[in-house]
Amino acid sequence: QVPHVTLCVRASDFEAAAKATLPNKSWIYASSSANSGQSLQGNLDDWSRVTFRPRVLRNVETVEVGTRILGNSSPLPFYCSPMGSMGSIHADGEIEMTKAIVQTGMHGLMSTASTKTTEQIMETYLAEQERRGSNASASKLMFQLYIPTDRQRAVELIRRVKKAGFHSLWITVDTPVLGKRTADRYQQAQEAFDVGLAEEDVEPAAEKEVETEGGAAPKVSPKIGGRPPPGQLSARTTWEDLAWIRREWDRPIVLKGVQCAEDAKLAVEYGVQGILLSNHGGRQMHTAPSALMTLLEIRAYAPEALGKLEVFVDGGLRDGADVLKALCLGAKAVGVGRPFLYALAAYGGKGVERCVDVLSEELTTAMRLLGITSLDQVRPEMVNAQRLLNE
């Protein structure tokens, strides 16, 4: 039974609604994580281990949550993370998500593994903006790039994304191969078993799905937005590849999936505009650090990075107060993934809008209770991260 959308009062409430809505295969695709699930659990747990240090008796009547993301103004300090084939979650997945992005004004990242083409997504974005009479000049759509193995394909894809008018390129660097998605493996093994295959056939069947983030059992036939076919995700990419990408792309570049201070330093050296601290929602490396742990590591060992490029985080953010913690510790904005995907699954674009409202309200309440009225007032001393640092 799917509850009425207004009964979802926390971002995490959309999970049960999605589970009640989705066919099992799609549910597994959206919710699965790597190996034992510890990376995912760590993402969820770590935010609650940082506490606030609220200041009182400050005038907090009027609160402003606007910020800038890579030079582009945003009414909110969080954005929608890229999540593979939304078409396997909702028949109009990317279209509904794009409409919700326009409606809320937040930034949104579209995945290379989308079930709609880059052009279709941008067309929807522009048409929706026009329909609502909003200013179409600055694109808030950003593109997540999985670098195809074939250089020519990669160049063509980047050119298409540029031509379509995407605002920035977020290159996913934590996926030279797909992590071990345990729930998918169990399901594949069960399917193989059910059709009576011999045990030794199970492993190859599982391998077939391995190198795509495209998702299982799309309800609509995928019109791939440049997605490399399974097996074509480049495991050969290195820092040196940034040079030719830079020649093709003159707008901001962000590396998605930085997980330690050394790589943050390298990102500064290689001159990218931003890094997104992320373990891919716990779907890639087993026992990877949460983005919060990496942020603390960077504060300790590469603090200069925070001044030289924009630092973003994602993974396990389920409360507007957690968003505020990330900003206090130096993040420019944060990505929210599954809550928006689950909201999309259960209620379409309206669900995503509701989820954005929930997070925004929690954020403004947390700001008031912390004693600040705008995001340029956030400071690291407004939180206490000792519990995590002492480990």
Q: Which residues bind ligand FNR (CB under 6 A)?
A: 29-30, 43, 81-84, 111, 113, 144, 172, 213, 256, 278, 280-281, 283, 314-317, 335-338, 341
Shortest reach from residue 342's CB to ligand FNR, in Å: 9
Query: Min. distance of Cβ 60 from ligand FNR in angstroms?
Result: 28
The nearer residue to ligand FNR, 286 or 368, going by C-beta atoms, is: 286
Q: Which residue, 352 or 372, is less far from ligand FNR as judged by CB?
A: 352
Q: Which residue is nearest to ligand FNR (CB)?
A: 337
Type of residue found at 5: V
Q: Of 90, 107, 167, 280, which one is the catalytic site residue?
A: 280
SS in 3 state form for the chain? CCCCHHHCCCCCHHHHHHHHHCCHHHHHHHHCCECCCHHHHHHHHHHHHCEECCCCCCCCCCCECCEEECCEEECCCEEECCCCCHHHCCCCHHHHHHHHHHHHCCCEEEECCCCCCHHHHHHHHHHHHHHCCCCCCCCCEEEEECCECCHHHHHHHHHHHHHHCCCCEEEECCCCCCCCEHHHHHHHHHHHHHCCCCHHHHHHHHHHCCCCCCCCCCCCCCCCCCCCCCCCECCCCCCCHHHHHHHHCCCCEEEEEECCHHHHHHHHHCCCCEEEECCHHHCCCCCCCCHHHHHHHHHHHCHHHHHHCEEEEECCCCCHHHHHHHHHCCCCEEEECHHHHHHHHHHCHHHHHHHHHHHHHHHHHHHHHHCCCEHHHCCHHHEECHHHHCC
Q: Reply yes or no on whether 280 is catalytic.
A: yes
CB of 44 to ligand FNR, least distance (A): 7
Determine the Cα angle at 40 with ends 171 and 46, to 5°: 100
Smallest gap, in angstroms, from Cβ of residue 341 to ligand FNR? 6
Nearer to ligand FNR, 287 or 374 (CB): 287
Cβ of residue 354: shortest distance to ligand FNR, in angstroms?
Answer: 17
The residue (of 93 and 372) whose beta carbon lies closer to ligand FNR is: 93
Distance CA 32, CA 180 (A): 10
Give the shortest CB-374-to-ligand FNR separation in angstroms. Answer: 25
Question: Would you say 128 or 174 has its CB closer to ligand FNR?
Answer: 174
Shorter beta-carbon distance to ligand FNR: residue 252 or 316: 316
Active site residues: 280
